[in-house]
Chain A
């Protein structure tokens, strides 16, 4: 574990000594603040568009940081040959992979914490949620009963979807919990992404190829992953079977995207579901790391 931590420390150091993170953060902050300064129809209470844009930029930046950092690690070590003095020490290839993964993941975590802090400050400075605490506490009691009635009136059989015109009203604690959950799940997803990209980087040794393919794959999963079963159903065999298999095999990264819940002040997700999603992320991360080690363990490294 000592070796893993030592290697991960180098990765974190490399990230904060490079300009990538700062550039992305400044870009995100600039765009958000610029949009925040725009007045739409002289209404200063409008906040959700700002949250939407800021979170979108955070997601893009985090993916760029995670994919860019992870895809570079092993090929760059080989290209600059820094891997040789390192592996000439009592370091196993498994520890090397784990160290690289942990470093990238921790670096992403640090970056995410900074980004979400900025997001929290920006959204709270614009009123955060759409009702003040006083409004919320007084509204909570009435909405509770109304919502219950509406659930009775509008429950669709079986699917558990309700309709009511009242906007979801959240307490401050729930808002904070939403932010924390969004940050946590985002970080967990980046764990899977980092492990996937590391695997890609040992299979495809050219960093540019690895970055491009990883980016396409991950964005593809985020956009289409949850709909692959619907697409499969419309296809003839054997394409249907192939797509369905893919649907069950790919890591469903889209689960970890709970931006809408944060933007639209929805209640936090139950802890059990968050916990299960975390376990899911750990399982996939473990699988990808194992595959990375398996490919890398006997790979000849020639000076």
Chain B
């Protein structure tokens, strides 16, 4: 009996454990979403991974500036987007002067400690160039891994991959990955359209993608009190250009009208509309050439 007692106790404990496990297991999915995730990072970090994702996104910007970057104590109100944040037409439209102003955060040293300390930190404002932009990519990849719902990461990385590094396939793959993770994102679709038009020279696919982007925008933004009009303008204007190239002037005019409503500076768009209307009128009045 003495010898049997420990084994009996062990058996009982095992039975209790098994019973509890089978009873509790079906209830656990209702307790938390975390356990359901197939993503190891989500499982480990929960929503905390978004914080790390932001950190890595910023790290990419730091890397783009070769370490010359304001700390939280030196940061001012953002005067403009960092030139790293390419995406859309932001890069072209980027206000270099505003960026310069923003990055002139060091100012005059306040005391000898600060003055001497500057000999040891990077004090030159530089941007990566000549293919070295690749150095920002690992941070963007990590950011996307940690927060797949952060759309900026995909568009920025795709911009640099495509525009500066000539890696169109990688850019497309990354955007596709972003689209899988964010099926409702019109930014990613817009960037994908740019890739097809500018890098693949495939206007047809670009048009399809932008049309989808426009549909998504309408579904998501039109009902909002403050819709993202900048995004609408970008999609509409670019789509109008593709339609125009395809000879679909009426559609192009309609899209430019839409863009004009969204634009803070509608005059140039109105001029384009007039130009297109003239083309339509000219086409209507010119004699039709019979087909042979």
**A264 at interface (Cβ–Cβ under 8 A)?**
yes
In the complex, what residue of chain B is closest to A280 when comparing beta carbons? B116
Asked whether B138 is an interface residue with its Cβ less than 8 Å from the other chain, the reply is yes
A220-249 near B? 1/0 per residue, CB < 8 Å: 000000110111000000000000000110
- B117-144 CB mask vs A (1 if < 8 Å, else 0) is 1011111111111111011011101000
In the complex, B290 has a CB within 8 A of chain A: no
Contact A165 B117 (CB under 8 A): no
**Residue B107 is within 8 A (CB to CB) of chain A in the complex:** yes
Q: Are B74 and A130 in contact (CB under 8 A)?
A: no
Q: Assess whether A260 is in contact with B104, with CB atoms less than 8 Å apart.
A: no
User: Which of A41, A156, A266, A270 is close to B66, meaning CB atoms less than 8 Å apart?
Assistant: A266
Contact of B135 with A226 in the complex, beta carbons under 8 Å = no
Which residues from 75 to 121 on chain B have a C-beta closer than 8 Å to any C-beta of chain A?
100, 103-104, 106-108, 110-111, 113-114, 116-117, 119-121
Q: How far is the CA of A156 from the CA of B101 in the complex (A)?
A: 10
Residues 138-165 of chain A, each 1 if its beta carbon lies under 8 Å from chain B, else 0: 0000000000000000001011111111
The answer, yes or no, to whether B63 is at the interface (CB within 8 Å) is yes
Do A41 and B125 touch (CB < 8 A)?
Answer: no
**Is A22 an interface position by the 8 A CB rule?**
no
What is the count of residue pairs linking A and B with beta-carbon distances less than 8 angstroms?
125
Interface size class of B (residues with CB under 8 A): 35 or more
Q: How far is the CB of B58 from chain A (nearest CB, A)?
A: 13
In the assembled complex, which residues on chain B have CB atoms less than 8 Å from the CB atom of A252? Answer: 113, 117
Interface status of A257 (Cβ within 8 A of chain B): yes
- B66 A167 Cβ-Cβ under 8 A: yes
Q: Which residues of B contact A162 (CB under 8 A)?
A: 124-125
Q: Is A105 part of the binding interface, using a Cβ–Cβ cutoff of 8 Å?
A: no
Size of the A side of the interface (Cβ < 8 Å), in residues, is 49
Distance between Cα atoms of A46 and B141 in the complex (Å): 12
Q: A46 touching B113 by the CB < 8 A rule?
A: no
Give the shortest distance, in Å, between B26 (CB) and chain A (any CB).
38
Decide if B116 touches A260 in the complex (CB within 8 Å): no
Taking a contact as CB atoms under 8 Å apart, the answer to whether A263 and B67 are in contact is: yes
- Complex Cα distance, B125 from A163, in Å, reads 5
Interchain nearest-CB distance for B4 vs A (Å): 44
CA–CA, A40 to B110, complex, Å?
Answer: 42
Q: Which of B67, B126, B174 sits near A41, CB closer than 8 Å?
A: B174
Is there a chain A Cβ closer than 8 Å to B32's Cβ? no
Q: Which of A249-280 contact B (CB under 8 A)?
A: 252, 254-258, 260-261, 263-266, 269-270, 273, 276-277
| Among B71, B123, B130, B138: residue with most chain A CB under 10 A | B138
Chain B residues near A46 (CB-CB < 8 A): 134-135, 137-138
One of A43, A260, A276 near B167 (C-beta < 8 A): A43
Which chain A residues border B106 with CB–CB below 8 Å?
A: 159, 161
Q: Determine the distance from Cα of A264 to Cα of B135 in the docked complex, in whole angstroms.
A: 10
> Which residues in B have some Cβ–Cβ distance to A below 8 Å?
59, 63, 66-67, 71, 73-74, 100, 103-104, 106-108, 110-111, 113-114, 116-117, 119-132, 134-135, 137-139, 141, 157, 161, 165, 167, 170, 174
Contacts of B119 in A (CB 8 A): 269-270, 273
Minimal beta-carbon separation of A281 from chain B (angstroms): 12
A247 to B111, CA, bound (A): 11
A167 touches B139 (CB 8 A): no
Contact check, B117 vs A226: say whether CB atoms are below 8 A apart.
yes
* CB-based contact A229/B104 at 8 Å: no
In the assembled complex, how far is the CB of residue A234 from the closest CB belonging to chain B, in whole angstroms? 9
Report Cα–Cα, A38/B71, bound state, in Å.
29
- Are B67 and A266 in contact, CB atoms less than 8 angstroms apart? yes
Q: Give the Cβ gap from A254 to chain B, nearest Cβ, in Å.
A: 7
* A283 at the B interface (CB under 8 A): no
**B125 A40 Cβ-Cβ under 8 A:** no
Let me know if A2 is at the binding interface, CB within 8 A.
no
Instruction: Decide: B141 and A168 in contact? CB cutoff 8 A.
Output: no
Closest chain A CB from B106 CB (angstroms): 6
**A254 neighbours in B (Cβ, 8 Å):** 117, 120
B135 with A260: CB separation less than 8 A: no
A277 surroundings in chain B (CB, below 8 A): 120
Inter-chain pairs besides A43-B167, A48-B135, 6 sampled, C-beta below 8 Å: A38-B138, A46-B134, A166-B129, A227-B73, A260-B121, A266-B124
- A219: min CB distance to chain B, Å: 15
A267 to B153, CA, bound (A): 31
Which single member of A43, A161, A264 contacts B137 (CB below 8 Å)? Answer: A43
> 5 closest A-B pairs (Cβ-Cβ)?
A260-B67, A49-B138, A264-B66, A227-B73, A273-B119
- Give the contacting residue for B73; candidates A47, A161, A230, A263; CB below 8 A: A230
29 A-B Cβ contacts within 8 A? A38-B138, A40-B137, A41-B137, A41-B161, A41-B174, A43-B165, A47-B135, A48-B63, A49-B63, A166-B126, A185-B120, A227-B74, A230-B74, A231-B73, A248-B111, A252-B117, A254-B117, A257-B120, A258-B121, A260-B122, A261-B67, A261-B121, A261-B122, A264-B66, A264-B67, A269-B120, A273-B119, A273-B120, A276-B116
CA distance A276 to B138 in the complex (A): 36
A42 contacts chain B at the CB level, 8 A cutoff: yes
Does A45 sit at the interface, judged by CB under 8 A?
yes
Q: How far is the CA of A165 from the CA of B100 in the complex (A)?
A: 12
* Cβ-closest chain B residue relative to A260: B67
In the complex the two chains form, is A167's CB within 8 Å of B107's CB? Answer: no
